[in-house]
A and B are shown apart, each in its own frame.
Chain A
Amino acid sequence: MNIKINVENLKNYKIYLQVEQAVNEFLQKRGYLKIDLPVLSPVLIPESYLEVFETEFRYLDKKEKLYLTPSPELFLKRLLAYGVGNCYYFGKSFRNSDPSTTLHSYEFTMLEFYKMGADYMGIADEVLNMLRYINKKVKNTSQKFKFDKWEKISVTEAFEKYAKINEEELFDHKLFLKKAKEKGYRNDGFSYDDVWSQVYTSEVEKNLGVNGYPTLIFDYPREFAALAKLNKDGKTTQRFEFYINGMELGDCYTELTDWKEQDLRFKTEDSKRKKSKKISHPIDKGYIEALKYGLGDCSGIAIGLERLAMIFAGVDSIKKLKLINIE
């Protein structure tokens, strides 16, 4: 890898700064507390689809493993449980095994905010207001999207509409894998999650957020619940993502507050990590302790700041926002 200087991106970088400032203003006006957090942690939330960066603290003969945080969630949820109230983090997150491409980087800037008493659709309203605020504040924006409303579509509707996969086929693993095979996807030795993600990326995503408005796609199958609360149907989860121009910008959950359920999911995710030979790290038991202490109903969203700024700068790669790229 080499260090590349890209001073020609100064104009785009300045738009990035305006987006950053608008986000801070918007959230602070609404009473969200900005929280500075460590990026090195001795424990992490186990997530089967993320690889982490491992490092070590050394002092004389003492050595202790530390991990760069792939998300600030483990810290923020603790603070929420112990009563900090509505809050946000704005800073670097790290994801190993994510090569640097137009939409990915192994280190990126994440905005994560939480609102007490809200569910995922409450956050959706807040995000739409934030997008409007940024659009008003950012000068020289060459973006052509309107933020008057969401285009809302459920995952079930989207699979029916764009991939011609009906509800029964979508949720039944056997039927889904059979249908995917008919469509030409390989399913030998692959899990439902893997093939689902391939069909979603190939056939659904490119249609989202392409009609001049951002699209909110909601209620993912329970296999993708992560830290989100399940819906009453038992099949889907209170998770939404939002898209502009076929690009995913944010991921929101109504937070799971049931510690037993969360403990179970941690174990499942941890065993998936072990199976796929990912870096092993201690599970964050303190997170479960915080849920045991009691987390009130709340909801939160993670938004990739670079991707958000791409929309307002009218560029097609996160690298075009940076004055220094490492490639």
Chain B
Amino acid sequence: MRTNAGNLKKGEFVYHGREIWQVQRADFYSPGKGSALMKTRIKNLLSGKNIEYAYKSNEQVDVLDVQSIEMQYLYRDSENLYFMDERTYNQFSLPLNIVGDVYKYFKDGDKMFVYLHDDKPLTIRPPLSVKLKVVEATDAVKGDTVTGGAKKAVKVETGVTVLVPLFVKVGETITVNPETGEYTGRV
């Protein structure tokens, strides 16, 4: 499908120089001299490299038709993450650098959407929130409770560190936005 670059949205997949890229950011920009532009950051889905590219807003861009299928995240090794389509039992793999740091918040068995194009996996759609158990934390120091916004670092079951409010304790399950790594609440 062809569209004006001015219509591009975050998350869409485009052909750029014959390769497939995912739009990470797309901002309208009018320099007041010449045509308006769409300033984008796009990620190459082969190399994982990000580039900044400013399209003319009326420049035609090829947008890929993709399917998003809910799959089970099985496990990962040093290079790839492995997923299974639970309806067909077909397995797919995606390189760590394509998925990005979000994978550090995933537990085996988590469900998430994988984007496919011509039956080949492109990348995942990260869940908005994941549930993670706190495995290591220091107790709040007495008197610290007055500073409402204060945060401490805790370790969660996947091994990453998350900044949480002081009242969060070991053994509690918290919700985290995997894209930003931010604590969003308790379960």
Assess whether A147 is interfacial by the CB under 8 Å rule: no
Instruction: Tell me if B33 and A196 are in contact (CB < 8 A).
Output: yes
Q: Is B54 a contact partner of A202 (Cβ separation < 8 A)?
A: yes
Check if A289 is an interface residue, CB within 8 A of chain B: no
| Residue of chain B at shortest CB distance from A97 | B36
A98 touches B56 (CB 8 A): no
Chain A residue nearest in CB terms to B26: A101
Is A197 in contact with B33, judged by CB distance below 8 angstroms? yes
Find the residue from B27, B33, B56, B59 having the highest chain A CB count within 10 A: B33
Bound together, the chains give a CA A102 to CA B39 distance in angstroms of 12
A201 to B31, CA, bound (A): 7
Question: Is B53 interfacial (CB-CB < 8 Å)?
Answer: yes
Cα distance, A229 to B52, chains bound together (Å): 35
Residue of A nearest to B60 (CB): A186
A186 near B33 with CB under 8 A, answer no
Q: Does B30 contact A (CB under 8 A)?
A: yes
Q: Does A186 contact B53, Cβ atoms closer than 8 Å? A: no
A104-B31 contact given A49-B36, A194-B56, CB 8 Å threshold? no
Contact, CB under 8 Å: B28 / A99: yes
Within the complex, the shortest CB–CB distance from A271 to chain B, in Å, comes to 16
B17 proximal to A (CB < 8 A): yes
Chain B residues with CB under 8 A of A82 = none
Q: Are B54 and A198 in contact (CB under 8 A)?
A: yes
Note all chain B residues with C-beta closer than 8 A to A193: 33-35
By a CB distance below 8 angstroms, the chain A residues around B59 are 186, 190
Residues of B with C-beta under 8 A to A90: none
Chain B contacts of A194 at CB under 8 A? 34-35, 56
Q: Which of A96-115 contact B (CB under 8 A)?
A: 97-99, 101-104
Q: Which residues of B contact A190 (CB under 8 A)?
A: 35, 56, 59
Give residues of chain B (28-78) contacting chain A, Cβ–Cβ below 8 Å. 28-37, 39, 52-56, 59
A287 on the B face (CB < 8 A)? no
Which B residues between 142 and 178 are near A, CB-CB below 8 angstroms?
A: none
Q: Is A38 interfacial (CB-CB < 8 Å)?
A: no
- Whether the pair A202, B34 counts as a contact (CB closer than 8 A) is no
Is A270 close to B, CB under 8 A?
no
A224 touches B33 (CB 8 A): yes
CB atoms of B28 and A49 under 8 A apart: no
Closest A residue by C-beta to B34: A197
Q: What is the CA–CA distance of A196 and B54 in the complex, to the nearest angstrom?
A: 12
Q: Tell me which residues across on chain B come within 8 A of A32, comparing CB atoms.
A: none
A197-B31 CB under 8 A given contacts A190-B56, A202-B53, A202-B54? yes
- The answer on a CB contact under 8 Å between A201 and B17 is no
Cα-based distance from A194 to B28 in the complex (angstroms): 15
A residues in contact (CB < 8 Å) with B: 49-50, 95, 97-99, 101-104, 184, 186, 190-191, 193-198, 200-202, 205, 220, 224, 248, 251
B residues in contact (CB < 8 Å) with A: 17, 27-37, 39, 52-56, 59
Can you spell out 16 A-B residue pairs with CB atoms less than 8 angstroms apart?
A: A49-B33, A49-B36, A95-B30, A98-B30, A103-B27, A104-B28, A184-B17, A190-B35, A194-B56, A196-B34, A197-B31, A198-B34, A198-B37, A201-B31, A205-B31, A248-B32
Apart from A197-B37, A201-B39, list 19 A-B contacts with CB within 8 A: A101-B28, A103-B27, A184-B17, A186-B59, A191-B34, A194-B34, A195-B34, A195-B56, A196-B33, A198-B35, A198-B37, A198-B54, A198-B56, A202-B52, A202-B53, A202-B54, A205-B31, A224-B33, A248-B31
